[in-house]
Copies of this chain bind each other. A is one copy, B any other.
Amino acid sequence: MLLDQHYLFAPGPTPIPDRVKAAMNQPMIAHRSQEFPKLLEDVSTRLMPVFGSENPVTVLAGSGTSALEAAAANVIEANDHIVVIVAGAFGDRFAAICETFGANVHRLNIEWGNTCKPKQLEEFLQSIPNDIKAVFATYCETSTAILNPIKDLGAVVKRLTNALYIVDGVSCIGAVPVDMKGWNIDILVAGSQKALMLPPGLAFVAISDTAREVIRNCKAQRFYLDLNRYLASYETEKSTPFTPAVSLIYGAQEVCNMFEEEGFENVIKRHQLLKTMTREGLKAIEIPLLTSDEDASPTVTAVRTLDAPSKQMKKMLKDKFAITVGGGQKKLKGEIFRIGHMGYCTPFDIIKVLGSIEMTLKFLQGTNVLGKAVKRAEEVWMDHV
């Protein structure tokens, strides 16, 4: 049967728009040429509203984890005390990075599937006698599909500590509001392959003036991920210290065009709509969800697979409908699957995945809910047109 594409609903990498592909296919340029600085400056400054940053956004060649490591390795020296909110696999990864570089990591463990409440952070910070160098939070914890209340947590960090507030925005920046200054964020990192509609291979770091001073004075060993080198190269020649991933940066320029044409406010609203359509549709056919509506991310939805049919659903979606969803990670392996709905994703895509789930349920357990989830999603959509 003609299902000639992979329909990609993983929580990253996400589909690439044709116009972004075309932009990446522009003739290669040398990064020491006259053209490259214009390209880099254009992208770094036009991403500022997307990152809610007052400074141009730093662009690295690497995956999201390279940006997480850059955030750690440019701030943390051996024996520094840092607090990491661990609400899933990516909080856990950041803690592991910090431990690798010799920090004393205080983990605030949150039950997977929940968000960190400001009160929890407040009590945790008050329980630590040491000076805290940095507090780390994931904005969207991809592994559990929740969105932490970054603004409110930032207010707690600001009120109780002098720590830098570092936020992992890998799986939501480009789909959610953010205001680094207003929310007290010092370092905000993202990857290209999620809501930013690009292939993987670029990582982004937005840096506050306060963080910049800390980075300048940090004595930790680093070379490829030394942000001082990137900041200096950008300032003096609008370039990068090491060969940049030119084609992906061309793609990022086209993504900026797309954001500006749609209006970034509307990009954010669209993701809210995609979230609500997905959740309401699934609820209408009694598919159990991992998270509450309030905690859930607008970029990814986690479906529980408690009973046998749900367990087989991920495989059948792939085999019969060419739809790829994400599996559960770490302690949620086999317990959930995850539907990514971020970046180059429209309400029609949600109809597509909900319809396929309806048909899958009929195949797997004979339950006839055909059209029911789609109906509910259409109702939600119509409220927003």
Q: Which of B221, B224, B248 contacts A225 (CB 8 A)?
A: B224
User: CB-nearest residue of chain B relative to A98?
Assistant: B223
A163 beta carbon closer than 8 Å to chain B? no
Task: Assess the A96–B30 pair: CB atoms within 8 A.
Answer: no
A200 at the interface (CB under 8 A from B): yes
Query: What is the CB-to-nearest-CB distance from A7 to chain B, in angstroms, rounded to a whole number?
Result: 9
Q: Is A288 an interface residue (CB 8 A)?
A: no
Determine whether the beta carbon of B30 is less than 8 Å from that of A15.
no
Which one of B69, B100, B247 contacts A201 once the chains associate, using CB atoms below 8 Å?
Answer: B247
A62 within 8 A of B: yes
- Kindly provide the distance from the CB of A244 to the nearest chain B CB, expressed in whole angstroms: 6
In the complex, are the beta carbons of B65 and A243 less than 8 A apart? yes
CB distance from A218 to the nearest CB of B (A): 13
- Chain B proximity of A105: nearest CB distance (Å): 13
Residues of B within 8 A of A34 (CB): 318
- Contact: B21 with A25, CB < 8 Å? yes
A31 contacts B by Cβ under 8 Å: yes
Contacts A15-B27, A30-B10 given; does A200 touch B63 at CB 8 Å: no
Residues in B whose Cβ lies below 8 Å from that of A200: 31, 61, 243-247
Min CB–CB distance A317 → chain B (angstroms):
12
Closest chain B residue to A9, Cβ basis: B30
A342 to chain B, nearest CB (A): 13
- B-side contacts of A221, CB under 8 Å: 100-102, 221
